[in-house]
Structure 1
């Protein structure tokens, strides 16, 4: 809509994405678009050498495509941000735990 601020436009796009995802039975737009991509790859699998890799965590970068790209702190972002800024003083872990 004309006259909307950048923030209003951004929020409207997030809301629409979530609404569309829920309409098709997905909890969020990430899961919805990931599924759509995998469905497209499945459709073209006869003609393309395809491998689908599902890593445990997908996260954003700190400064690309622009500074502030990380929106809020989710999953490991709360560790990545201070590490990237050089302010992470220590990180307590169980050295016997498995991590992928």
Structure 2
């Protein structure tokens, strides 16, 4: 049996969706894209503050108690930090967290 590209399988399945299913999928995709953009922006801001304070990630780990590997993931937009983690990092950087709903 020949293999089919995922895109072809996906498109075939989507062609059978109702208008409501498409609307839900589009809304979910937009929501998760916004969350992803927010995580990337937060990571960039943390990295900028850290560099501005002349700290490396290990020094920030020592100040915040958050593992360097997690700091790296957050700064690269790959982590999904909790509010507590963000507060600990930003407090160590002498900053405040202002969370906005998505």
Q: What band does the TM-score fall into relative to the shorter chain?
A: under 0.3
Q: Larger Cα Rg: Structure 1 or Structure 2?
A: 2
The normalised TM-score by structure 2 is: 0.27
The normalised TM-score by structure 1 is: 0.27
| More RCO (CA 8 Å, sep 6+) | 2
